[in-house]
Structure 1
């Protein structure tokens, strides 16, 4: 599906948007529910990834195809490895077979798991024969994707002796690790995170518990971008959010003050207010703890005619696509002056903003949604726009509520 996006007739926005539950929180909660059926979940994400996770968790034997869902790949690897009597082959899309799982597989093997590679060493598809894991000490590099770490932490309370996990080196993506530990605490699992060591106590049973999933801050990022590109006086209200969020991407509240966007909480809603135009022409952010908003910020800066230098982006190389190279290609088409390395992005002042450009999305939901706010400035096309269903199926409908002109080509 190819879409044409054009500018809202009124750039002074006043709208309300309801966003479903966080994909990150939903998938963690679903895995915990599979381990402890007494858990009830509210405001579950309606994303493809959450749907894939739900289906995968119900399979006992055979092939589990998670398509493009990287979170499901990591979380289900730990889950099936610890489920005695279950035997599956975990696979996914072509891109998924190019995304490494070796660090996680080796950690699980060191704990006593039985996992083998079906094709290429270190990559899916993998064959898993579930076992009753009794070993309880393992180490992982601290600078890897937090999903590897969370995969181990989520199954830890169900293991006979719990888990002691040592993270070697400088830790990145700390908020996502803390999100996992906070959810464990909510269901009564004792855990500690001191220095580079995380300890999770065993818990055979959990009392009846209700987990309410907060709406997705990653999805909110696109409205922060729209607010930044709108006229002063615009207000966009999003629900349902918590001021004490577990999600790392909630740092948007702080970062977008640089673009003149103020955040206010009113009950379970968050109001984004464009209070002024940016005072500075350049921003510098370290996004090691929130890499998923890098695309949104880079596009926001381009739309505002600002320079930016973004660091801490090393995990973007192994996402749904190589997001750094994809950003370089697509922003260059629009006229941006951009350079990238394997972990940084620099956007210099650009002389042009080319209209009616077709943005390629690379099977990556965040490429489609990060570029969409640019329609506040110029009309553009989005190729394979249906990819947003991975995390936010209603995205294009919600843009129309903001008076964006969204037409299928």
Structure 2
């Protein structure tokens, strides 16, 4: 694949076969860690994303230096996992951006349990030196308002602690569906959990239920096809597999959210069909609070741009510590296309834009979601996506699947 990809103004075409979306990266990475703790688990439809491949390789590695590159989920989960691997000392590091992403809240929590983790460079940031040992603690207090992945990392190792885990959460809890996903996956393998006020208790478990777990396809990846259908004429439709009506993934909220863009979702035999049923009046303002679904914010605002709608998206404080500062990146790239955008520390507002400027080069900032979120604009104008292969972080077949919908690439 070329480093930069030209997307030519195209017309949507419904693929003849459903597009298969690989397993959820979020579910896969949680289950891989649980499988490492409980080897009797068997997994199916695991994500083929870079992040999941890196996670699997790290879990199997005997090396003393592990570099997980841009994989933020892996950094958080592996910090907790390796902290409890007795008699194993290693260095856990990542890309330059990863070394700028905070991890102090999680390290402090693990140290409360008796972990031995030190910073090799800047205080509070990777790289980390982790001296694996038996963790003797049980009760942890952690601030819940920065990243739900810190909480999930602790919950996932909870069943292997001698006395289980009692996790006390302070502050406003963020990205709650991801915590719920972790709890549901623990329940599937036989772990008992109890929630009371802001405390989660995880009981110890010696052996998982002998079971095969099928990973649901990734709803975040489905968002780009929702955007394509929203930008298409009434009647356009596409089928995607393998999705459930009752999902552990917070981004399943797409089915409800995209009704505002005239897209109806139907469920049948683990398949969803997205259909454009009506046009959206041009004076519509889309207002959404996305604290539980921040990963689809980029997709939604680009959909609004393509439809000439104004929007205000809030609850986005976690976007500043992702692969890039996504709020700044969005403002920069949307304004190249002619939009008027205002950002705060946790929100983004865009005025309705009548004309989208053509032949713009979209920078992606080592962020897979920047590349994929802007791609549906090929239904409106020519544009170039810089560093197109970055999509492999979560969706390696994205450009091939996009081409199947009639988008012309070169």
SS of the counterpart of 1:133?
A: coil
CA contact (8 A) 1:192 1:199 kept: yes
Matched, 1:383 2:386: yes
Partner of 2:365: 362
CA contact (8 A) 2:10 2:380 kept: no
Partner of 1:314: 317
Q: For residues 303 and 251 of structure 1, what CA distance do their matches in structure 2 show?
A: 21
Matched, 1:299 2:294: no
Q: What TM-score, normalized by structure 1, do the two folds share?
A: 0.98
Out of 324, 332, 335, the position equivalent to 1:329 is 332
Out of 177, 195, 198, the position equivalent to 1:196 is 198
Deviation at 1:194, TM superposition (A): 2.8
- Give runs of aligned pairs for residues 68-83 of structure 1, distance below 5 A: 68-83=70-85
Partner of 1:272: 274
Deviation at 1:17, TM superposition (A): 0.9
Divergent runs of 4+, >3 A: 11-15
Pair 401,12 (structure 1): closer, same or farther in 2 beyond 3 Å: closer
CA contact (8 A) 2:15 2:404 kept: no
Deviation at 1:8, TM superposition (A): 2.9
Partner of 1:13: 14
Matched, 1:141 2:143: yes
Choose 189-198 or 108-117, whichever is displaced more.
Answer: 189-198
Out of 394, 397, 401, the position equivalent to 2:400 is 397
Deviation at 1:61, TM superposition (A): 4.5
Matched, 1:105 2:107: yes
Which runs of 5 or more residues in structure 1 are unaligned?
none
Q: For residues 394 and 156 of structure 1, what CA distance do their matches in structure 2 show?
A: 35
Deviation at 1:131, TM superposition (A): 1.0
Out of 333, 341, 347, the position equivalent to 1:344 is 347
Partner of 2:216: 214
Deviation at 1:207, TM superposition (A): 3.1
Q: What TM-score, normalized by structure 2, do the two folds share?
A: 0.97
Partner of 1:258: 260
Deviations 1:276-313 (A, max 9, x none): 01146101000000000000001000100001000000
Deviation at 1:12, TM superposition (A): 5.5
Deviation at 1:13, TM superposition (A): 3.3
Out of 63, 66, 88, the position equivalent to 1:64 is 66
CA contact (8 A) 1:12 1:231 kept: no
Q: Aligned residue pairs: how many? A: 406
Matched, 1:374 2:377: yes
Deviation at 1:14, TM superposition (A): 5.0
SS of the counterpart of 1:231?
A: coil
Deviations 1:125-160 (A, max 9, x none): 000011111211011112121111000000000111
Out of 281, 284, 301, the position equivalent to 2:284 is 281
Which runs of 5 or more residues in structure 2 are unaligned?
none
Q: For residues 371 and 63 of structure 2, what CA distance do their matches in structure 1 show?
A: 35
